[in-house]
Amino acid sequence: MPIRTRKLLGTIALLVLVVVWSLIAMAIAQAPLIASSRLAQGIYYVVAGIGWVLPAMPIITWMSKPDKDPLR
């Protein structure tokens, strides 16, 4: 697959990931255990805010792979 196509598909996948991640994070943030404690809220928002990076890394790695040499 050409790099331009991978980048297009990867960009769409990243956008979908961020939207779905944020919607799920907002739903979980309404849980009584998190909503009742400022400390729990702080820890949760740090983890949820950084957590999307882990599933995004394989997508970015896949997107940035160079094209295969057609002569090989």
pLDDT in tens, the chain (72 residues): 888 899 999 999 999 999 999 999 999 988 888 888 899 899 999 999 999 999 999 999 999 888 876 665
Domain assignment of residue 70, yes or no: no
What domain count does the chain have? 1
Domain encompassing residue 28: 3-63
Quote the pLDDT of residue 7. 93
Quote the CA–CA distance of 66 and 43 in Å, as a whole number.
38
**For the chain, how far is it from start to end, CA to CA, in angstroms?**
15
Query: Are the C-beta atoms of residues 29 and 44 closer than 8 Å to each other?
Result: yes
Domain assignment of residue 68, yes or no: no
φ/ψ (deg, to 5) at 65: -65, 135
Domain assignment of residue 72, yes or no: no
pTM of the model: 0.78
